[in-house]
C-alpha cells in the first residue's frame, strides 16, 4: 500500500488541506457521481442527484465524473445542508501517466487502484479539508446506493424567497412581475416548457418561497435555467456589476405540504 497525506493547515474557504487520518475501513450508502448526473456551462456545474440532506450525518460521494475538486471544497451550493462529507476521487493524473508509459514502451500495464480521499467539514463560516492518497491495497470498502425521492417530497432546482410586501417592503417585490416574461422567453429560446412551479407561504404579509422543479428538462437545460434565473433575480440590475463565482449546484428535496397556511400550491404564468 502506498499511502500519502497532503496539506499542512486548517484555513477558511478557500480551504487548504490538513494532515489527519480520517478514514474508516468501510462506508455504506456511498453515492456515485457519474457523467450522466453532471451538466456544466462555463465554470458552473449541476450534479443532478436529488438527496435528502441531514446535518448530523456523514455522507460519502465517489466522483467518477470530471468535476474540479476545488469546487466541492469551496462551493456552499453543493448540498448546502450537509455539514460533513467524504469525497473519493480517482487519481486521474496517475492513471494517465501509467497509460502514457505503457504506450511509450509498447507494453500493457495494470495500474494500482489509486484514489484521493477528501474529508470536508463545514463549520460556520469555515471549510476544513483533510486529504489522503491511497494506492494499491488499503482502500476502505465502499457499498453504493442510489438515492430515492420520498413520496411526500418534491425536487426543487431553484428557490426564491420573498419577504414582506409592505412592512418594510422586500425590494424583490419590485421584480416579481419579471417572472412570467422571463419564463416565456426561456421556453421559446430553448424549446421547452417550464412546469412544476410551486409556492409555499411563510408569513401573513406576502412572505413566500417559489420553487422550480423543472420536470422534463435535461440536466444541461436545468443548469441553464438556474444560471439565467439567478442573473434575472437581481434588484436594480442595470446599476450593478455582479460577477458570480464558479459553483456546483445540486437539487433540494422539499416536503410537500398538503394542508394549512403554508400548503404547497401550484403556480402558473
Diameter over CA atoms, the chain: 75
Three-state helix/strand/coil letters over the chain = CEEEEECCCCCCCCCCEECCCCCCCEEEEEEEECHHHEEEECCEEEECCCCCCCCCCCEEEEECCCCCHHHHHHCCCCCCCCCEEEEEEECHHHHHHHHHHHHHHCCCCCCCCEEEEEEEEEECCEEEEEEEEEECCCCCEEEECCCCCCCCEEEECEEEEECCCCCCCCHHHHHHHHHHHHHHHHHHHHCCCCCCEEEEECCCCCCEEEEECCCCCCHHHHHHHHHHHHHHCCCCHHHCCCCCCCCEECCEEEECCCCCCCCCEEECC
pLDDT band at 47 (very low <50, low <70, confident <90, very high): very high
Cell 453543493 sits on residue: 78
Question: Which three cell numbers, joined as nine digits, stand for 181?
Answer: 416574461
pLDDT band at 221 (very low <50, low <70, confident <90, very high): very high
What proportion of the chain, given as a percentage, has pLDDT over 70? 93
Point out which residues pair with 226 in neighbouring strands: none
Q: For residue range 63-98, what is the model confidence (pLDDT) as tens digits? A: 999 999 999 988 788 999 999 999 999 999 999 999
> What's residue 76's pLDDT?
84
> What's residue 104's pLDDT?
87
Query: How far apart, in whole angstroms, are the C-alpha atoms of residue 70 and residue 209?
Result: 31
> What's residue 108's pLDDT?
86
Q: Which has the minimum average pLDDT: 35-49, 68-82, 144-158?
A: 68-82
9 pLDDT exceeds 80? no
Query: How far apart, in whole angstroms, are the C-alpha atoms of residue 212 and residue 198?
Result: 7
> What's residue 66's pLDDT?
95
Boundaries of every domain in the chain: 2-144, 153-267
Pairing mode of beta strands 26-33, 59-63: parallel
266 pLDDT exceeds 80? yes
Average pLDDT, the chain: 91
Q: Which of 106, 114, 112 shows the shortest CA–CA distance to 89?
A: 114
Q: Is the pTM of this model over 0.85?
A: yes
Within 8 A by CB and 6+ apart from 266, the residues are 197, 198, 199
186 pLDDT exceeds 80? yes
> What's residue 20's pLDDT?
57
Query: How far apart, in whole angstroms, are the C-alpha atoms of residue 263 and residue 141?
Result: 43
* Residue with the larger pLDDT of the pair 13 and 104: 104
Amino acid at each position: 500500500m502506498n499511502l500519502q497525506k497532503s496539506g499542512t493547515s486548517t484555513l477558511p474557504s478557500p480551504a487548504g488541506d490538513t494532515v489527519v487520518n480520517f478514514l474508516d475501513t468501510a462506508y455504506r450508502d456511498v453515492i456515485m457521481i457519474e457523467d450522466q448526473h453532471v451538466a456544466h456551462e462555463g465554470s458552473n456545474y449541476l450534479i443532478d442527484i436529488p438527496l435528502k440532506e441531514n446535518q448530523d450525518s456523514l455522507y460519502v460521494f465517489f466522483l467518477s465524473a470530471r468535476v474540479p475538486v476545488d469546487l466541492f471544497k469551496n462551493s456552499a451550493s453543493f448540498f448546502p445542508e450537509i455539514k460533513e462529507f467524504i469525497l473519493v476521487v480517482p487519481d486521474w493524473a496517475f492513471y494517465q501517466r501509467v497509460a502514457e508509459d505503457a504506450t511509450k514502451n509498447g507494453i500493457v500495464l495494470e495500474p494500482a487502484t489509486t484514489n484521493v480521499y477528501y474529508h470536508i467539514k463545514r463549520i460556520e463560516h469555515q471549510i476544513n479539508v483533510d486529504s489522503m492518497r491511497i494506492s494499491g491495497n488499503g482502500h476502505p470498502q465502499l457499498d453504493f446506493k442510489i438515492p430515492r425521492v420520498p413520496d411526500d417530497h418534491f425536487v426543487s432546482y431553484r428557490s426564491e424567497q420573498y419577504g414582506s410586501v409592505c412592512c418594510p417592503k422586500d425590494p424583490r417585490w419590485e421584480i416579481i412581475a419579471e417572472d412570467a416574461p422571463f419564463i416565456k422567453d426561456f421556453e421559446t429560446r430553448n424549446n421547452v416548457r417550464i412546469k412544476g412551479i410551486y409556492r409555499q407561504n411563510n408569513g401573513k404579509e406576502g412572505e413566500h418561497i417559489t420553487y422550480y422543479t423543472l420536470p422534463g428538462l435535461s440536466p444541461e437545460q436545468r443548469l441553464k435555467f438556474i444560471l439565467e434565473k439567478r442573473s434575472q433575480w437581481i434588484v436594480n440590475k442595470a446599476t450593478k456589476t455582479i460577477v458570480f463565482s464558479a459553483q456546483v449546484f445540486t437539487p433540494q428535496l422539499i416536503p410537500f405540504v398538503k394542508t394549512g397556511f403554508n400548503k404547497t400550491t401550484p403556480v402558473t404564468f
